[in-house]
């Protein structure tokens, strides 16, 4: 175990040194992972993005014709610009049993543990496969993993369990919210503000859309669709940005909003979107007769589903046993787990080292105790896969 612990720590040092911010290529890190696997005798497949500037990697140890366990992590990290770091974010620094660096918790610590155990497992004969997926562009809307999900059925037998190693302090998590992100583009008709009635104010159109969104939130707050397992127990709708107008004496012709919906898994986000699209259509009908080309258009630019693994799922019991915890948490941040479950029907449990409270912040860290807990978990899982 001490040897494994040191090995995971060394791999983590290497992984953190790749500044894989989502806007940049992750290929250097993927090459490193691929070479590491190759040295251990493990074949891997790369699944590139359209521009071939980023890739997901899939690898598997053990039989191809049996369902095993898929360990899933993302290779990208959030930016460090504007954050006050005590030390270089792309070099692991140890202080008081904690390892500091961008991505230590979210989620290269998990990836390092998965790789260290893979090396150890490679020469063994497995009854069920130990599968790994490391994706790109998770932090910008779970983009990369969608390509893996499309190809997984042709690469391997679908797993009986998928573990998404996002930081949960090694407590099993069964649910997270879904998310829809969209633009609302309001087009008005410009004129001098002294003639305001001759124009159509795009900001006023946007205001009608904001009112509609706020009304939906009120309906939800007074309604019955809630899940008290979540810290925020209801679906939320919110406007994040508003841009419109050029000068006070001009009736603005453009106003653009960005909005998001974070839905609890038992609430269908499409029902809420339908109301917004209806409202946009009605507004457009009302104004475009007098001012052709004006109105409101909505464009969804990203969405991923929520995750809701049943609390009586054997997948949960299995992970609870392996990490010696009875927890069945519900988290407020999204993961790739919702997509794995929705697209492939695979049971998903989110469980990984570190605390989400440290993620995305300056001086992000994971404790060495958490990495060791993750290694214990993966070793127990390995024993199951050998013996199965
Ligand atoms: Zn993450």
Distance 302 CA to ligand 1 centre (A): 17
Residues 54 and 23 in one domain: yes
Residues 35 and 140 in one domain: yes
The CA distances from residue 49 to 27, 56, 103, 107, in Å, are: 11, 8, 22, 21
pLDDT of 71: 98
What is the rounded CA–CA span in Å between residue 34 and residue 53? 16
Tell me which residue of 359, 372, 376, 377 sits closest to 100, measured CA to CA: 359
Q: Is 56 helix (H, G, I), strand (E, B) or coil?
A: strand
Q: At what angle do helices 27-39 and 109-121 cross, to 10 degrees?
A: 20
The strand pairing partners of 261, in sequence order, are 180, 237
Residues 375 and 338 in one domain: yes
Active site residue 138: yes
> What torsion do the CA atoms of 353, 325, 332, 222 make, to the nearest 10 degrees?
-170
Residues 245 and 330 in one domain: no
Distance 86 CA to ligand 1 centre (A): 22
Residues 63 and 155 in one domain: yes
Q: Is the pLDDT of residue 1 over 80?
A: no
Q: Is the pLDDT of residue 16 over 90?
A: yes
Active site residue 119: no
Q: Is the pLDDT of residue 4 over 90?
A: yes
Q: Is the pLDDT of residue 135 over 90?
A: yes
- Give 108's DSSP letter: I
Q: How many distinct structural domains can be found in the chain?
A: 2
Q: Which domain holds residue 197?
A: 178-304
Distance 146 CA to ligand 1 centre (A): 15
C-beta atoms surrounding 73 within 10 Å: 25
pLDDT digit string (tens) for 238-253? 999 999 999 999 999 9
pLDDT of 122: 96
Q: Is the pLDDT of residue 346 over 80?
A: yes
Distance 97 CA to ligand 1 centre (A): 22
Domain end (from 304, 325, 354): 304
Residues 238 and 354 in one domain: no
Domain end (from 276, 304, 332): 304
pLDDT of 388: 75
Residues 323 and 299 in one domain: no
As residues whose CB is below 5 A from the ion ligand 1, the structure lists: 106-107, 166
What is the rounded CA–CA span in Å between residue 144 and residue 141? 9
Mean pLDDT of 302-324: 97
Residue 347 near residue 160, CB atoms below 8 Å = yes
Task: Quickly state the pLDDT bin for 45 (edges 50, 70, 90).
Answer: very high
Say which CATH number the domain at 189 has. 3.30.70.360
Domain end (from 274, 304, 334): 304
- % pLDDT > 90, the chain: 99
pLDDT digit string (tens) for 159-172? 999 999 999 999 99
Residues 119 and 209 in one domain: no
Mean pLDDT of 378-386: 97
Task: Quickly state the pLDDT bin for 361 (edges 50, 70, 90).
Answer: very high
Mean pLDDT of 59-82: 97
Q: Is the pLDDT of residue 324 over 90?
A: yes
Find the catalytic residue in 76, 119, 139, 227. Answer: 76
**Which residues have C-beta within 8 Å of that of residue 51, sequence separation ≥ 6?**
none
Query: Contacts by 192-197 with C-beta closer than 8 Å and gap 24+?
Result: 192/249, 192/250, 192/251, 193/248, 193/249, 193/250, 193/251, 194/249, 195/251, 196/251
Distance 360 CA to ligand 1 centre (A): 9
Residue 373 near residue 170, CB atoms below 8 Å = yes
- The position carrying tokens 């609430």 is 267
What is the rounded CA–CA span in Å between residue 205 and residue 71? 47
Residues 14 and 37 in one domain: yes
pLDDT of 2: 80
Q: Which helix (H) or strand (E) holds 340?
A: helix 337-344
pLDDT digit string (tens) for 122-132? 999 999 999 99
Average pLDDT, the chain: 97
Q: What is the distance, to the nearest Å, from the Cα of residue 103 to the centroid of all Cα atoms in its chain?
A: 14
pLDDT of 107: 97
Say which CATH number the domain at 362 has. 3.40.630.10
Residue 302 near residue 329, CB atoms below 8 Å = no
Q: Is the pLDDT of residue 24 over 90?
A: yes
Tell me which residue of 124, 108, 152 sits closest to 20, measured CA to CA: 108
Residues 157 and 52 in one domain: yes
Mean pLDDT of 196-200: 97
pLDDT digit string (tens) for 261-293? 999 999 999 999 999 999 999 999 999 999 999
Distance 332 CA to ligand 1 centre (A): 12
Residues 321 and 357 in one domain: yes
Find the catalytic residue in 106, 119, 137, 138. Answer: 138
What is the rounded CA–CA span in Å between residue 116 and residue 105? 16
Cis peptide leading into residue 325 (ω within 30°) = no
Residues 131 and 29 in one domain: yes
The strand pairing partners of 244, in sequence order, are 255
């Amino acid at each position: 175990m001490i040897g494994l612990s040191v090995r995971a720590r060394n791999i983590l040092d290497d992984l953190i040194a790749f500044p894989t911010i989502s806007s940049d290529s992750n290929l250097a890190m993927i090459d490193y992972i691929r070479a590491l696997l190759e040295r251990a005798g493990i074949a891997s497949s790369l699944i590139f993005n359209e521009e071939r500037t980023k890739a997901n990697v899939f690898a598997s140890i053990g039989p191809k014709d049996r369902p095993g366990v898929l360990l899933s992590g993302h290779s990208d990290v959030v930016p460090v610009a504007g954050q006050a770091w005590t030390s270089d974010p792309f070099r692991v620094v140890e202080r008081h049993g904690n390892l500091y660096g961008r991505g230590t918790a979210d989620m290269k610590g998990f990836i390092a543990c998965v790789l260290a155990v893979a090396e150890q497992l490679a020469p063994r004969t497995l009854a069920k496969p130990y599968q790994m997926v490391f994706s790109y562009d998770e932090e910008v809307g779970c983009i990369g993993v969608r390509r893996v999900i499309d190809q997984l059925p042709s690469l391997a037998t679908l797993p009986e369990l998928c573990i998404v190693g996002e930081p949960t302090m090694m407590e099993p998590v069964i649910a997270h919210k879904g998310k829809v992100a969209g633009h609302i583009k309001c087009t008005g008709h410009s004129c001098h503000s002294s003639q305001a009635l001759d124009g159509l104010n795009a900001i006023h159109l946007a205001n009608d859309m904001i009112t509609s969104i706020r009304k939906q939130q009120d309906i939800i707050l007074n309604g019955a669709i809630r899940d008290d397992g979540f810290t925020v127990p209801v679906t939320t709708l919110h406007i994040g940005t508003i841009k419109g107008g050029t000068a006070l004496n001009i009736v603005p012709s453009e106003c653009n909003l960005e909005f998001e919906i974070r839905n609890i898994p038992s609430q269908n986000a499409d029902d809420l979107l339908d109301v917004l699209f209806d409202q946009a259509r009605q507004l457009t009908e009302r104004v475009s007769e007098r001012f052709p080309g004006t109105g409101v258009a909505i464009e969804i630019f990203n969405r991923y589903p929520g995750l809701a693994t049943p609390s009586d799922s054997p997948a949960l019991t299995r992970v609870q046993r392996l990490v010696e915890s009875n927890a069945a948490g519900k988290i407020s941040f999204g993961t790739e787990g919702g997509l794995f479950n929705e697209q492939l029907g695979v049971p998903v449990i989110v469980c990984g080292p570190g605390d989400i409270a440290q993620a995305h912040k300056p001086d992000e860290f994971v404790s060495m105790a958490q990495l060791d807990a993750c290694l214990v978990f993966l070793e127990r899982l390995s024993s199951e896969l050998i013996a199965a």
